[in-house]
């Protein structure tokens, strides 16, 4: 099902979440054409959600739509195209019949050489991983605040906990995303809105293909963890959970030693 353009959506504060007894909720997933986002769309639909799935690769979205049927609607969208977000958001909310959950999973992590300082590449990472999160997060925050319920979930990364030499700007985008999500959580808590930060460790997806990451979990395992974190109104969740310990250790390494490490 593809949503048609529509000028506005009627927000209904305090309205009951789902449409009918069989719909558990309504969700928008951005970055849904592969990896963690696509796996989460499948899980949410299996759980009874009606989901709008967005990304740039229309052919992948069409496959998802064919697989999942009426419960999934798709829209081709490039998150760097921020000016369309307010109208698109309203259009999707209207098409879904309301909104309970926004998940931002869009992200890029291009290869960066050890002596590479390419500003255009770095800005592209920030535009996708951070500015898109803010553009979509702000729309959801406004709606959820007014209806006094809803959940915003951002897929951050373990890479945001420390400034590693290998990926200076990817890590920056995730650290800034963590900061934005924490601030949203603190703003929206009194309105009954939940904000969930997910920090995956290693996940087998197109982003990490060929990197030979040991101990990586599947995208579906990651999606299951995200779904649980959303259901339990977690604040920050590492996936798998052992990455919490890794984060504490990495944070505690003095800068003098950290800068001599190859991670």
Q: Pick from 203, 223, 229, 247: which binds ligand NAP (CB under 6 A)?
A: 203
- Binding segment for ligand NAP (CB under 6 A), chosen from 64-72, 141-149, 179-187, 205-213, is 205-213
Min CB(202)–ligand NAP separation in Å? 5
CB of 148 or CB of 242, closer to ligand NAP? 242
**What is the C-alpha to C-alpha distance for residues 238 and 224, in angstroms, rounded to an integer?**
12
**What is the C-alpha to C-alpha distance for residues 229 and 87, in angstroms, rounded to an integer?**
29
Considering the rule CB under 6 A, would residue 195 count as an interface residue with ligand NAP?
A: no
DSSP 101: E
CB of 153 or CB of 219, closer to ligand NAP? 219
Sign of the Cα pseudo-torsion (56, 17, 149, 145, in order): positive
Cis amide linkage into residue 240, ω under 30° from 0: yes
- Exposed/middle/buried for residue 18 (C-beta within 10 Å: 0-12, 13-18, 19+): middle
Which 74-93 positions form the footprint of ligand NAP (CB under 6 A)? 77-80
Q: Pick from 24, 43, 56, 121: which binds ligand NAP (CB under 6 A)?
A: 56
> How far are the Cα atoms of 28, 191, 204, 234 from residue 44, in angstroms, in the given order?
10, 24, 20, 17
CB of 90 or CB of 178, closer to ligand NAP? 178
Residues contributing to the site for ligand NAP (CB under 6 A)? 31-37, 55-57, 60, 77-80, 105-109, 128-129, 155, 157, 200, 202-203, 205-208, 219
């Amino acid at each position: 099902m593809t949503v048609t353009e529509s000028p506005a959506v009627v927000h209904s504060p305090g309205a009951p979440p789902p449409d009918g007894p069989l719909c558990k909720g309504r969700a928008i997933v951005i970055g849904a054409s592969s990896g963690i986002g696509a796996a989460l769309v499948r899980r949410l639909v299996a759980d009874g959600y009606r989901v709008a799935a967005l990304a740039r690769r229309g052919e992948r979205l069409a496959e998802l739509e064919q697989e999942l049927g009426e419960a999934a609607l798709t829209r081709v969208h490039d998150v760097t195209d921020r000016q369309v977000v307010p109208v698109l958001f309203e259009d999707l909310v209207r098409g879904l019949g309301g909104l309970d959950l926004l998940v931002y999973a869009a992200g890029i992590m291009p290869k960066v050489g050890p002596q590479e300082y390419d500003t255009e590449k770095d800005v592209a990472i920030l535009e996708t991983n951070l500015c898109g999160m803010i553009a979509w997060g702000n729309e959801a925050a406004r709606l959820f605040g007014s209806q006094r319920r809803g959940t915003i979930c951002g897929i951050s990364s373990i890479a945001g906990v420390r400034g590693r030499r290998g990926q200076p700007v990817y890590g920056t985008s995730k650290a800034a995303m963590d900061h934005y999500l924490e601030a949203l959580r603190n703003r929206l808590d009194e309105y009954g809105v939940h904000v969930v930060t997910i920090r995956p460790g290693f996940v087998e997806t197109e982003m990490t293909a060929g990197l030979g990451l040991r101990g990586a979990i599947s995208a579906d395992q990651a999606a299951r963890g995200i779904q649980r974190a959303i259901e339990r109104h977690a604040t920050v969740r590492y996936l798998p959970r052992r990455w919490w310990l890794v984060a504490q250790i990495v944070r505690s390494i003095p800068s003098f030693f950290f800068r001599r490490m190859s991670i």
